[in-house]
A and B are shown apart, each in its own frame.
Chain A
Amino acid sequence: MISTSRNSWWPSPAAVLAYAVAILSVTTALVTGLLLDQFLQTMPYVSLFLCSIMFAAWFGGFGPSLLATGIAILLFTYYFVDPGGSFEVAAKDIPRVALFAVTALFVVSLSAAQRRNADSLRFARDQLQATVGELARVNKALEAENVQRRRVEAYLDEAQGLSRTGSFSWKVSSGNVFWSKEGYRMLGLDQTVKPSIDLLLQRVHQDDHRIVRHEIDRARRGEQDCDYELRWLMPNRPTKHLRVRAHRVQFESGEDEIVGALIDVSEAREAQESLHAAQTALAHAARVATLGEMSASIAHEVNQPLAGIVTNGEAGLRWLDRKEPDLGEVRSAMERIIRDGKRASQVVERLRALARKAPAQTTLLDLNEVISEGVALVQREIQSHRVALQIDLARDLPPVLAGRVELQQVVINLMMNGMQAMEAVTDRPRRLVVRSFVQAEEVLVSVRDSGIGIDPENMSRLFNAFFTTRANGMGMGLSIGRSLIESYGGRIWASNNDDAGTTFQFALPARVRAAS
């Protein structure tokens, strides 16, 4: 506040200096004039004053030169106009004074004009300089930004390379396609190749053409997002699994563009596949182990119809070889042979399905069928363990999405466990209840035994691998069962019954019957 108020009252130091110089230069001109007058008897006052005014004008501008002019006129009047030593002007000298004043004012105006020109030139120059400086700064910033941008681009390339992610864009209307460096590398294409959708389709695995075409059509129709996987054929190298994620963006130009990422998920896919293979192998091993445990039952199950077939055949021959062949008996023996043969082949087919080492194929399944088939396979075990089996299946069960053999394996495993848990039971009926029911959009299967139950402290470890309470148990059945059920999006658990024994249950998400 103080400084501003002072500024408003006082002229700036530069102005003070300019006025001081004006006064000084006029004074100097006077002194010089007086000295010259005295020693050289010459009288160059006018020129000297004009010079001083010009100097004041040059140095200080219009204001100081006016001041200098005023002072010079007064001094001129005082010293060099008769009568000397006073400000009075004799009539005869008025034109002289006026001429001086006019000349001085003319000089002032000239000097001021020149100075204005100089000022404006200087101003123009300063402005030019400022502009140039500004330009230089902008240039520098641009350069820095460029460096930064190149660095970012390098980082991006590096990051794309490290993360095996390429990027692409596709201008839907013009059909222009862009692939990033890593995109090219990933696709195994040279960067000189002009990217196009057709080129893309050439290298996509035959079986994935449908998916890719479908996704491209969707994008053309204006779909916002896409996310799918395709197999990409690499000449002389293993096929890659690429995941494509893209979305639609609209740039300022108003043109729609699909911008997306291309991710190499081969490793993850391979890991997943080998995990899956390991799981399948383990499940198979467990099935084979279960089959081993059931071998007595299986032998019986197979030999029973075989015994029927052989005996019927031999009986048939004997009926034929009689003195009077009894063709009626032969016919019925043959019919029984056919019936038993079919039955044997069914048994073998069921066993083969269980023993088959094929990757799990998930289909829509009726859990009731799975239970019935499982029960058929353990029928003999049930008898030999003297177990009363009760099957209580809900009608119109919605299907579940799972592997038939794998689910059968789980059901058989739970039933075998239940029977084994009842081996030591003699004081109460050995009851095994298998139920299926629907609850909260899930299909449930429960297997309830009246066995010895599970020690509460073992409850949490029940589904762990290698946990077993049996002397000859491997401890894999429930663990594999859990991983199978969980792989189908389900869960499995056990609880002790209020009275005796344990109930094992598993739940799988119910699916819609008519799946699209």
Chain B
Amino acid sequence: MSRSPQPPRTAKALPAVFVVDDDPSVREALSSLFRSVDLQVELFGSTAEFLQHKRPEGASCLVLDIRLPGVSGLDFQAQLLQANIRIPIIFMTGHGDIPMSVRAMKAGAVDFLAKPFRDQDMLDAVAAALQRDRQAREAENAAASLRANYELLSPREREVMALVTTGLMNKQVAGQLGLSEITVKIHRGHAMKKMNARSLADLVRMAESLGLHKPKAHQA
């Protein structure tokens, strides 16, 4: 339903998997596995190394060992959330317990795999994570373009859009703003065009994503 302004896959932005595990055996094995299905892989021995790496354009996910030297995987997950770095995380553990997995999943982990894991489980988890990241990115892109379009509206058009999308008739809007019904109609047309809205319902959804109704709720 949502439109993607840019195609997600470009030559530059292959889906990338980041692996953080202090054990080179596991790192190398995962690298081989992901490369065999044409995923781009970056390997890190510690979270610090990972943080120094630039985040890529394309969809990506993080395959993270729970036990790491220095900071634990779970603590690192919390740190990333706090720093507003949103990347889907798949946890691996050599010895997991239920509280650990609950904590990880509650904090938004995609999956929690016990070593040794089935390759298909790992690939499925990575696929799901990438999908989630892709969707998140698309949603983010959509929101960004929505905001950009909204920036193009004149103050009056914004007022009209806000009121129209609350379900008021043109006449009522005109009455509230002290304008003629015709003027309201024109502003509304401009707003819909600038916002790329194909219908009023489309515009209502956009207004909701932009959070235009909050001030109104405030008024009431």
Q: Is A305 an interface residue (CB 8 A)?
A: yes
Which residues on B sit within 8 Å (CB–CB) of A362?
none
**Residues in chain A near residue B117, CB distance under 8 A:** 307, 310-311
Please tell me if the beta carbons of B116 and A329 are within 8 angstroms of each other in the complex.
no
Please determine whether B94 and A329 come into contact, CB atoms closer than 8 angstroms: no
Contacts of A340 in B (CB 8 A): 25, 29
CA distance A333 to B67 in the complex (A): 24
Please indicate which of the listed interface residues B25, B28, B72 has the most CB atoms of chain A within 10 Å of its own CB. B25
A306 touches B115 (CB 8 A): yes
Interfacial chain B residues near A303, Cβ < 8 Å:
94-95, 114-116
Q: Which of the residues A295, A297, A302, A305 comes within 8 Å of B25, measured between beta carbons?
A: A305
Check B11 for interface membership: any CB of A closer than 8 A.
no
Of residues B117, B119, B122, which shows the largest number of chain A Cβ atoms within 10 Å of its Cβ? B119
CB distance from A316 to the nearest CB of B (A): 7
For B, the interface residue count at a CB cutoff of 8 angstroms equals 27
Contacting pair B23 A316 (CB below 8 A): no
Chain B nearest Cβ from A102, distance in angstroms: 146
Q: Which B residues touch A384, using CB under 8 A?
A: 67, 72
Asked whether any CB of chain B lies closer than 8 Å to the CB of A87, the reply is no
| Contact segment of B32-40, B167-175, B195-203 | B32-40
* Interface residues in A293-317 (C-beta closer than 8 Å to B): 295-297, 299-312, 314-316
Contact of A310 among B23, B36, B37, B116 (CB under 8 A): B116
Do A319 and B23 form a contact, CB below 8 Å, given A299-B94, A309-B116, A310-B117? no
Query: Does A322 touch B at the CB level, under 8 Å?
Result: yes
Quick check: is A205 within 8 A (CB to CB) of the other chain? no
Within 8 A of A (CB), among B114-133: 114-119, 122
Are A318 and B33 in touch, CB under 8 angstroms? yes
Task: Report which of A309, A315, A383 forms a contact with B33, defined as CB distance below 8 A.
Answer: A315
| CB of A397 to closest CB in B, whole Å | 29
Partner pick for A332 among B26, B32, B70, B95, CB 8 A cutoff:
B32
Q: With both chains docked as a complex, state the minimum distance between the C-beta of B99 and any C-beta of chain A, in angstroms.
A: 13
- From known contacts A299-B95, A336-B25, infer whether A307 and B115 are also in contact, taking CB-CB under 8 Å: yes
Q: Mark A274-309, 1 if CB is under 8 A from B, else 0.
A: 000000000000000000000111011111111111
Instruction: Count contacts between A and B, CB distance < 8 Å.
Output: 96
| Whole-angstrom CA separation of A14 from B37 in the bound complex | 148
Q: Complex: how many Å from CA A386 to CA B72?
A: 10
Is there contact, CB below 8 Å, between A315 and B32?
Answer: yes
Q: With A296-B95, A383-B69 given, is the CB distance from A304 to B25 under 8 Å?
A: yes
Query: Would B37 and A311 count as touching, CB distance under 8 A?
Result: no
Q: Which of chain B's residues have a CB closer than 8 A to the CB of A319?
A: 32, 36
Most B CB contacts (10 A, CB to CB) among A307, A309, A312, A380 go to A307
**CB-CB nearest in chain B for A384:** B67
| B36 partner, pick from A304, A307, A309, A315, beta carbons under 8 A | A315
- The distance in angstroms between the C-alpha atoms of A305 and B27, with both chains bound, is 11
Is A329 a contact partner of B25 (Cβ separation < 8 A)? no
Contacts of A386 in B (CB 8 A): 70
Q: What chain B residues lie within 8 Å of A315 (beta carbons)?
A: 29, 32-33, 35-36, 119
Q: Digit string of B54-80 for contact with A (CB within 8 Å is 1, else 0)? A: 000000000000011110100000000
A245 at the B interface (CB under 8 A): no
Task: Decide: A304 near B115, CB < 8 A? Known: A296-B95, A384-B67.
Answer: yes
User: From residue 321 to 380 of chain A, which have CB atoms closer than 8 A to chain B?
Assistant: 322, 326, 329, 332-333, 336, 339-340, 343, 380
Enumerate B91-129 residues with CB–CB distance to A below 8 Å: 92-95, 114-119, 122
Closest beta carbon of chain B to A41's beta carbon, Å = 160
- Say how far B61's CB is from chain A's closest CB, in angstroms: 17
Nearest B residue to A386, CB-CB: B70
Chain B residue nearest to A299 (CB atoms) is: B95
Q: Which residues on the B side are within 8 Å of A380 (C-beta)?
A: 67
Contact B36 A311 (CB under 8 A): no
- Chain B contacts of A326 at CB under 8 A? 36
Report the separation of the CA atoms of residues A406 and B33 in the bound assembly, to the nearest whole angstrom: 42
The answer to whether A316 and B32 touch across the interface, beta carbons within 8 angstroms, is yes
B207 within 8 A of A: no
Is the CB of B30 closer than 8 A to any CB of chain A? yes
Q: How far is the CB of B213 from chain A (nearest CB, A)?
A: 48
**What 0/1 pattern do residues 394 to 424 of A give for CB contact below 8 A with B?**
0000000000000000000000000000000
Q: Which 10 A-B pairs have the closest CB atoms?
A: A300-B94, A308-B25, A314-B119, A307-B115, A299-B95, A311-B29, A318-B36, A315-B33, A303-B94, A315-B32
Contact sample, A vs B, 28 pairs, CB 8 Å cutoff:
A297-B95, A300-B94, A303-B94, A303-B95, A303-B114, A304-B25, A304-B115, A307-B115, A307-B117, A308-B25, A308-B28, A310-B116, A311-B30, A311-B116, A311-B119, A312-B33, A315-B29, A316-B32, A318-B36, A318-B119, A329-B36, A332-B32, A333-B29, A336-B25, A339-B25, A340-B25, A380-B67, A383-B69
Q: A residues within 8 Å of B by Cβ?
A: 295-297, 299-312, 314-316, 318-319, 322, 326, 329, 332-333, 336, 339-340, 343, 380, 383-384, 386
